[in-house]
Amino acid sequence: MSDLSQPTPEVALARRRAAGWGDLVLRQPLAVSGAAILFCMVLAALLAPAIAPIDPLFLDPLRRLRPPNEINWFGTDQFGRDVFSRVVYGSRVSLIVGASVAVLSIIIGLAIGLVAGYVRWLDVLVMRIMDGLMAIPGVLLAIALVSLSGASLLTVIVAITVPEVPRVVRLVRSVVLTVREEPYVEAAIAVGTRLPLILVRHVLPNSIPPLIVQATYVCASAMLTEAILSFLGAGTPPEIPSWGNMMAEGRLFFPIAPRIVLLPGIALALTILAVNVLGDGLRDRLDPKLAKRV
């Protein structure tokens, strides 16, 4: 008969998992709450029609600038549109822009950074170009790009990606420069491994953890830039409800109805905070060297 005091492997695994989750909450309460807030935001964005049944674009001239009531939880704006619906739908724009810019700039930055870090003659040229791009204020470059190529969600995403890429390139390059001096890379070269294989097998895995951390920061910064562009009038087209657009349109009525400006502002700040806190938690876990420095 087996010893009953010893749990079966399945039970042990389940216990370890439960302990792992509890442990995570205890050790990184901020990061976990950030992830939870973000999860709710994603849920709200996906289920927007169910959560906010009033059409965010529906104009009701008879119900303009109403204070919060049982139909319009956050009241209505100067055109009689439901502010709650618009805030809920606004999460879609921020999340789409944040995620797309993060993925795009990581992919582009990774490709350029790997090549720059490994091909010496290209390195100088590429890094000078990146230094130049980084010297141009990102917000200004993005507004100029959007305004020159016409506002649409796609141009906003591309315009925000351009100033983010150099930062990713720098990060990837610095990883490449450290990894290429490692004995195992030297060994790989010695046995005749070709360059593409070295990059994929040795350099790439080393750059993944810092890149995941960087991706969260890029995402937060992209959501911020999108809101700034929309707020300044050169971002997401005004007919799409985004938090920046709502604040821009509501600012004239700020003294009468501050909630039209403040509520989307709170949603924006909360989302960016959640992503940043999640990023800090990931950094502490995935990239201890960086965590020590900052």
Partner 1 sequence: MLAFIANRILSTIPVMAVVAFVVFLLLRLSPGDPAAVIAGDYATAEQVERIRSQLGLDLPIHTQFVSWLGRILRGDLGVSIFSNLPVTTLIAQRVEPTLMLALSTIVFSILVAVPLGVLAAWKANTWIDRAVMVFAVIGFSVPVFVLGYFLIYGFALGLNWFPVQGYRSPFDGLGQFARHIALPTLTLSAIFIALIARITRATVLEVLSEDYIRTARAKGQIERKVLFQHALKNAAVPIVTVIGLGIALLIGGVVVTESVFNIPGLGRLVVDAILKRDYPIIQGLILLFSFIYILLNLLIDITYTFLDPRIRY
Contact residues toward partner 1 (CB under 8 A) are 30, 128-129, 131-141, 143-145, 147-150, 220, 224, 227-228, 231-234, 247, 251, 254-255, 258, 261-262, 265-266, 268-269, 272-273, 276-277, 280, 293-294
Shortest distance, CB of residue 43 to partner 1, whole angstroms? 21
Shortest distance, CB of residue 130 to partner 1, whole angstroms? 9
Please return the burial class of 243, using the count of CB atoms within 10 Å of its CB with bins 0-12, 13-18 and 19+.
buried
Helix intervals (H) in the chain: 9-27, 29-46, 48-51, 83-118, 120-135, 138-149, 153-179, 183-190, 195-198, 204-232, 243-250, 259-286, 288-293
Distance CA(100)–CA(246), nearest Å, equals: 22
Q: Which is nearer to partner 1, 153 or 220 (CB)?
A: 220
**Which of 204, 40, 220 lies closest to 107, judged by CA?**
204
Q: Which is nearer to partner 1, 97 or 234 (CB)?
A: 234
Per the CB < 8 A criterion, the answer to whether 111 and 105 are in contact is no
Q: What backbone torsions phi and psi does residue 76 show, to the nearest 5 degrees?
A: -125, 160
Shortest distance, CB of residue 159 to partner 1, whole angstroms? 11
Distance CA(188)–CA(177), nearest Å, equals: 16
Shortest distance, CB of residue 175 to partner 1, whole angstroms? 20
Q: Which is nearer to partner 1, 136 or 286 (CB)?
A: 136
Q: Which is nearer to partner 1, 12 or 140 (CB)?
A: 140
Distance CA(72)–CA(58), nearest Å, equals: 12
Shortest distance, CB of residue 132 to partner 1, whole angstroms? 2
**Tokens at 173, concatenated:** 């390059």
**Tokens at 66, concatenated:** 């109403």
Q: Which is nearer to partner 1, 136 or 188 (CB)?
A: 136
**Tokens at 279, concatenated:** 């990023």
Q: Which is nearer to partner 1, 89 or 231 (CB)?
A: 231
Distance CA(220)–CA(239), nearest Å, equals: 24
Shortest distance, CB of residue 108 to partner 1, whole angstroms? 16
Distance CA(170)–CA(101), nearest Å, equals: 17
Shortest distance, CB of residue 157 to partner 1, whole angstroms? 16
Q: Which is nearer to partner 1, 15 or 27 (CB)?
A: 27
Per the CB < 8 A criterion, the answer to whether 87 and 262 are in contact is no
Q: Which is nearer to partner 1, 114 or 145 (CB)?
A: 145
Shortest distance, CB of residue 107 to partner 1, whole angstroms? 21
